[in-house]
Amino acid sequence: MVKIVDFKTYQTEDGKSFCTLIVQGGIEAVKSQETDRTYLTARKARVACTFNEAVCQSLIGTNFPGTIKRIEVDPYEYTIEGSGEVITLSHRYEYMGEEEGIVKDNVLKEEEVF
């Protein structure tokens, strides 16, 4: 299950606005690479939608099926809010519905056999 915790409005280059819902998964324990101490966190992802701001606002707090998965991507720079520190990441978090998650977890990638 994920929960809608917020939304964000963006504008396209041609001036049209659209919203994304910010969804959050459950709490998970993670070990810090710097301090080797365990801390609790929750994964978040943005999901595009066709809703206007009023509908997005009314959806905050709604739970629905799915998970947030870590997806490996090409390295990119990310600025940490608050500290302004720029780091390089090679992953992002993506919402997956139940059916999509089941398929991705159980289907093997095609491998070349010699």
CA quadruple 71, 10, 42, 104: dihedral sign: negative
pLDDT at 29 (0 to 100): 93
Which among 95, 22, 94 is positioned nearest to 56, based on CA atoms?
22
pLDDT at 105 (0 to 100): 56
Looking only at the bridges linking them, the beta strands covering 67-79 and 86-96 are antiparallel
Q: Return d(Cα 47, Cα 3) in angstroms, integer.
A: 12
Predicted TM-score (pTM) of the model is 0.75
- Tens of each residue's pLDDT in the chain, 114 residues: 999 999 999 999 999 999 999 999 999 998 887 888 999 999 999 999 999 999 999 999 999 999 999 999 999 998 988 888 889 999 999 999 976 655 555 655 566 666
CA atoms within 13 A on the CB side of 32: 7
Domain boundaries, the chain: 2-106
pLDDT at 80 (0 to 100): 83
